[in-house]
Structure 1
């Protein structure tokens, strides 16, 4: 088959992080099948390049029309279905091309679910575009009968249906895959008081303010000096969120973006992974930490409970006070800590192992799992 992967951004040699997870999928598909995969990035640039042996074209909606008309693809795989893509894909020439569409979140959820970012200067612009996006998405669902939608969690599907005000009748749930070889299990019994936080600090979605508040509460405990805390990330909130804990000798701040290999190394050196959230369709960084055997302290909201059974595979909390209490309790309970660590690894192997996920996705692409 000849397959087009359509998305809104893709890695380049000088910018390797944009939708890197899409590239990871494409590389695995190419290595596992004889199908021909090409990538088109819909933007305002006109460019073509090869990235890591994958052929990529960038261009406008008009160029996308030309590519679809001339190259005769058997199927289109879409990550982040935007309203600009929809304008092209609903045209009579292209509407009958079979499509598999991954729904990741921002393209299918109402701006009202991001109120926590309202202080952001660009929020009003985002809200306007979001209303347009949801309108087009609903129209797409009304006219296109040849698409299969992929959601990473049941929560993601339910809220997308509510916000778009339409049903995804032809859909499947397939979580994002976790590389359980890269994020391999190591016993954590000697690392119970070593706490790791790796988060973007550019959105309130990631609850870095709540995490740092929990650590500030922990600093008031008499045995706080027994803990070793590493906070890693970058973004506009980094200095603000870490201000009240930055002067402690046992708190290390690293203001940078990490590669997956660097993340795995930090996993091997720590025992507790702090990852509260205000909204998450899965929690990939949380799942990676679970795969490595860290005890995750996360939030009891959105899709998180679909991947963590509370007090069995991790600790799910409501607020900073709960997080602080959970850290104190689990770091002083050898048996529970070890059990949760091992159960977390087992859960990710069963639910999110990358090899299994790739196999499921390829079956879907081949038409065997509709």
Structure 2
């Protein structure tokens, strides 16, 4: 018997023979049907999220509703087999219709964008120019009028001459640390520093729709900020041995794809850029939010299909976990030859996050350092965990320190702000500061609903903290019961039990602390990650001869 997905593809092919070309009207109709069914189900009456730093009413403390729609709402006269067949086949047809419409609209839009870019190619525009000398941390200091070509030439002219003859890599990402904004993209910066340490000459391209063009230096890394055209010129003129694109999107690829025939591209997929909307259903608070998330999924599905259809597409797709690879293929409805994909996790800088054997008394000291920007990171689960411990005898011996920011951080202040043994700091911390904090704590409270790896958890483990987390998504690829407490999904009770267990058993705590540090060094240390990345990109040799 054929699988439902195979049947769906066959029906789509057959339907194309009998149905007219997809139209906007067809797409609007499908959306309206979906909207009516979901509104009827009444599953989107979520509480308003806590705003960062603001008190919220008691009515907002009610449990978040379950948003998965039961199949019996689809109709009572169908069998389960009929329901799944209808949903799969009708979804397949409507998806094909919508993606075709998107493709046509996107093609027309980019024709306009490219025409405008060509017109501005020799037009001086505002650019923020900071110091670049390969080592300087000079801040952005001057605004100049430069054409895209002048800005690109100026950036290339400031390369470190000491690295002439080295393998040359261009790293592309929509975010990167900058003076005064050190938090975003810290894990990518650590990766580049290891590349440099290995003898590779690295240029960094921050490809952003909205930031002002320019360049700056951050901790020995020269960064070009481009809205598109300078990035294209940089790839064309930079003579790179490889181009590593992180968080790839249609915006980045549209500017870079015309150089694919003459350059070796590598896509690094971290998770959200190839994820289906339902994976983060816990973040959706209204039907309009769900609708926007569904449309964003369609955009991503179209992008990934187009990338894989490119005759000179990326040479390799690199995922941070097996979970991320499996989810991408399923969520984006694509197939990828094994020869074109690899799993290499994000590097954990074990030179920065060093291990010192933990004294037994640190089993009472609990640290939470993470963004509270969305529900993925489980700020509410952390709050519930502390509240459950508050009712236990062990609580008086525990000490908590909570550092972070984001729209949900207010939960900590509201629920835990009056407790003497809970210190709450609404701010972001740099990796260097976090490494110092790790020395004073023994338990890392890191609940999760979705992680394709969990860099902050692994960094804490490298320092010897025992993570207390949830058994969800990719987390079991990076920890096990010998080095971590893993509660079931949504199980704050299990998290609290784990902390009490560690605090009550000094020998167990110290044993798991050593195991946590050893696990990171055997799996995500530079020799297991950076070395693999350089090998995959053929950047192992430090010296090359250029023609």
Partner of 1:272: 443
Partner of 1:295: 466
Q: Secondary structure at the match of 1:73?
A: coil
Instruction: State the Cα distance separating 1:355 from its structure 2 match.
Output: 4.3
- TM normalised by structure 2 equals 0.63
Is contact 1:10–1:41 with CA below 8 Å preserved after alignment? Answer: yes
Residue 533 of structure 2 is aligned to residue 366 of structure 1? no
Q: Quote the RMSD (CA, aligned, Å).
A: 2.1
State how far apart, in whole Å, the 2-side matches of 1:108 and 1:330 are.
37
Is contact 2:304–2:334 with CA below 8 Å preserved after alignment? Answer: no
Unaligned runs of 5+ in 2: 1-166, 541-547
1:251-294 deviation digits (Å, cap 9, x = unpaired) = 11111111122212222111111101010011111111111111
Partner of 1:12: 178
Partner of 1:209: 380
Matching of residues 164-243 of structure 1 within 5 Å: 164-169=332-337, 170-186=340-356, 187-243=358-414
State how far apart, in whole Å, the 1-side matches of 2:413 and 2:290 are.
24
Q: Secondary structure at the match of 2:281?
A: helix
Instruction: State the Cα distance separating 1:367 from its structure 2 match.
Output: 6.3
Deviates more, 1:125-134 or 1:334-343: 125-134
Partner of 1:137: 304
Matching of residues 25-104 of structure 1 within 5 Å: 25-33=191-199, 35-44=200-209, 45-91=212-258, 93-104=259-270
Is contact 1:90–1:140 with CA below 8 Å preserved after alignment? Answer: no
Deviates more, 1:124-133 or 1:266-275: 124-133
State how far apart, in whole Å, the 1-side matches of 2:202 and 2:435 are.
29
Partner of 1:106: 272
Residue 427 of structure 2 is aligned to residue 249 of structure 1? no
Instruction: State the Cα distance separating 1:146 from its structure 2 match.
Output: 4.3
Match of residue 323, structure 1, among 479, 495, 498: 495
Partner of 1:342: 514
Is contact 2:319–2:345 with CA below 8 Å preserved after alignment? Answer: yes
Match of residue 525, structure 2, among 326, 348, 353: 353
Deviates more, 1:347-356 or 1:202-211: 347-356
Unaligned runs of 5+ in 1: none
1:85-121 deviation digits (Å, cap 9, x = unpaired) = 2223443x43452111110111111122111111389
1:145-177 deviation digits (Å, cap 9, x = unpaired) = 542111111101110111111133211111111
Q: Secondary structure at the match of 1:18?
A: coil
State how far apart, in whole Å, the 2-side matches of 1:321 and 1:342 are.
25
Deviates more, 1:313-322 or 1:42-51: 42-51
1:336-366 deviation digits (Å, cap 9, x = unpaired) = 2222111111111101113442222222221
Structure of higher CA gyration radius? 2
Match of residue 323, structure 2, among 155, 163, 185: 155
State how far apart, in whole Å, the 2-side matches of 1:231 and 1:150 are.
33
Instruction: State the Cα distance separating 1:215 from its structure 2 match.
Output: 0.8
Is contact 2:183–2:430 with CA below 8 Å preserved after alignment? Answer: no
State how far apart, in whole Å, the 2-side matches of 1:251 and 1:195 are.
9
